[in-house]
Amino acid sequence: MTAAIIDGKAFAAGLRARIATEVAALADRGIKPGLAVVLVGEDPASQVYVRSKGRMTVEVGMASFEHRLPATTPEVELLALIARLNADPAVNGILVQLPLPRHLNEAAVINAIAPEKDVDGFHILNVGRLATGQRAMVPCTPLGCLMLLRDRLGDLAGKRAVVIGRSNIVGKPMAQLLLRDNATVTVAHSRTADLPALCREADILVAAVGRAEFVKGNWIRPGATVIDVGINRTEAGLVGDVDFTSALPVAGAITPVPGGVGPMTIACLLANTLTATARANGLPDPEGLTP
């Protein structure tokens, strides 16, 4: 047996096509969703992400606003830009690319974004809303993982899920989303004792640790669904957090790197921007784009 490959690239393309259709329908009402992306500094990986975000935003028919600021930008200037974007009716979504240069207070910057425009779902109000089951903006990468899991498995109720990684961007919101879907969730991290044994209990294994090929095939429960969030640059090229070669004969299904979770993140960012636009205009949430 060999695992089914979960084609996130194709799923994301389908999602963007759906979003484009909804954006066209909004255009008939004179509404054009707008996404503002703020990049501070010159981190090369961030520049790549920001460029492809801008391109795909335009491709689905939304307006894209890019703000590139020097690495030395004082916090007051960044906060002033966010205040302008908060007040701008053409901007429905605001994303400040992370990581920020060290002199900037990440929490203060994120919490300055209007919660209803926080398409990353990182604002403390959205984090709290997700955790308490209220209507929130949900972080893009875990939302994309959830869509792939539901598509693969249907109902997640009663499944044992292990999330490796406890970041605010992926691990913690992923755990919240799985819990909302009635999975039994364990969050593992660098201090977890006997991680391989814990992983072997998992029907759903989500790896978000940022360590190349960290999860080995013999950690995986036969038939498990494995979601690999890692994007690690090595001499051999891009690899995930899962050792794909040894996982393939054991898992039931697995996301490849690249072409798995990665493309889902930007598609979900566009989904969140569409949702934010609908809400800003008093329209119902578009079907299937929110948990």
Instruction: Reply yes or no on whether 97 is catalytic.
Output: yes
Catalytic residue status for 88: no
Which of residues 57, 73, 92, 97 is near ligand GUN by CB under 6 A?
97
Closest CA to 25 of 284, 267, 269: 284
Residue number, nearest CB to ligand GUN:
98
Which one of 95, 127, 177, 220 is in contact with ligand GUN (CB under 6 A)? Answer: 95
**Which of the stretches 27-35, 94-102, 198-206, 280-288 binds ligand GUN when contact is defined by CB under 6 A?**
94-102
Q: How far apart are CA 152 and CA 3, in angstroms?
A: 12
Nearer to ligand GUN, 139 or 252 (CB): 139
Query: Rounded to an integer, what distance in angstroms lies between the CA atom of residue 286 and that of residue 291?
Result: 11
Q: Is 32 in the active site?
A: no
Q: Give the interface segment with ligand GUN, choosing from 22-30, 92-100, 156-164, 219-227 (CB under 6 A).
A: 92-100
Question: Rounded to the nearest whole angstrom, what is the least distance from the CB of residue 140 to ligand GUN in the complex?
Answer: 5
Residue 14 β-bridge partners: none
- Residue 141 touches ligand GUN, criterion: CB under 6 A: yes
H/E stretch holding 34: strand 34-40
Phi-psi region of 158 (alpha: psi -120 to 50; beta: other; left: phi over 0): left
Q: Which position among 140, 161, 239, 248 is part of the footprint of ligand GUN (CB under 6 A)?
A: 140
**Does residue 138 belong to the site contacting ligand GUN (CB under 6 A)?**
no
**For ligand GUN, which is the closer residue by CB, 26 or 143?**
143
Exactly one of 120, 181, 241, 243 binds ligand GUN (CB under 6 A); that residue is 120
Q: Which of residues 206-265 bind ligand GUN (CB under 6 A)?
A: 265
* Nearer to ligand GUN (CB atom), residue 96 or residue 215: 96
Pick from 163, 169, 177, 204: which binds ligand GUN (CB under 6 A)?
169
Q: Is 73 helix (H, G, I), strand (E, B) or coil?
A: coil
| Cβ-defined contacts of 68-77 (< 8 Å, 24+) | 68/39, 69/38, 69/39, 69/40, 69/41, 70/40, 70/41, 71/40, 71/41, 71/42, 71/101, 72/101, 73/40, 73/101, 73/104, 75/103, 75/104, 75/105, 75/108, 75/109
Residue 179 phi, psi dihedral angles, 5° rounding = -65, -45
Say if CB 215 and CB 243 are below 8 A apart. Answer: yes
* Contacting residues toward ligand GUN, per CB under 6 A: 95-98, 120, 140-141, 169, 265
Which positions are catalytic? 53, 97, 120
